Structure 1
Amino acid sequence: MRVLGVDPGLTRCGIGVVDGVAGRRLSMGAVGVIRTPAEAETAERLVLVERGMEEWLDTHRPEAVAVERVFSQHNVRTVMGTAQASAVAMLCAARRGLPVALHTPSEVKAAITGSGRADKAQVATMVTRLLRLDAPPKPADAADALALAICHLWRGPSQNRLQQAVAAQRLKGTTR
């Protein structure tokens, strides 16, 4: 399976492609960052993120997209930009009928390092080891995007089964 991981941001949107399945060797397809100029208007920056996402989707043809779930930060302006970039990534994937999964930062850290409290350096080190890279991807947003893709490859199938079971239970409850 090929997963596109997205670490959303308005200035730097980390993006990475990982191929593999749970329990097997993983390989990096590509990694990078979609950048927008800080001095540009928000609407223009979102168009640039959208164009970058579309280019990555066209080039790498993922089967799923994993996006970091936006969590509340102290800086409302930063969280708004992150949420807007996240929405653009989800919209681009949804337009193509691709499944979109949201993963929390602590969930990704726990999947990659074994600890939900790992720092960025620990995540980058494990991404480097898991994908057998010569050096950690830079900037950290790029490494985080790869970590999201890996997390989804490892946790996505079990989450899908859980969601299907919950949906089946709800359906049973409404047909009685």
Structure 2
Amino acid sequence: MDIVRLSKIAFVAAIGFFASMTVWGNIDDYQSRFSLARHVLFMETMFPFSEMERRAIEIPRWNHVIYISIIAVKALVAAICWFGAFKMLCHVGTAKQNFNESKQWAVGGLALGFIVWLVELIAAAREFFGMRIHKSWSEMDLAILFCVTTIAVLIFISMVDEERDPW
């Protein structure tokens, strides 16, 4: 049994599972999770006289459109990661070239996941909308954890597999 290949598959599936649970949580508990997104988009707790307030998106319909778009992209991350893990599993016992080529979907899902968490939580929410200012509404620790975990898995699965006896 090739533990390295199986580990790579399991890691990609774990990110797919995490993204799936994020999507499910955002849909299942829409109102409370949306309230965080709305709070960040409205920028309602900025420092007095902050020039950043002009960036606020105060149109409720747009808040919902943005939030639903975030959920949809995370669902795409989940689907691509799950499909990537499945493709890798189908090639787990094949020659190194076949297995290495089977990683493409997984790499795409992980890269998209990293971009989503970096852009959504760190660049947009933290920097553009000032989420970093208020600790009670900030999810920066989680955002950094998501990014680091996803990029670590991406690096691990991107490592070229050597030819070995697969079983």
Normalised to the residue count of structure 2, the TM-score between the two structures is 0.27
Structure with bigger gyration radius = 2
Larger strand percent: 1
Normalised to the residue count of structure 1, the TM-score between the two structures is 0.26
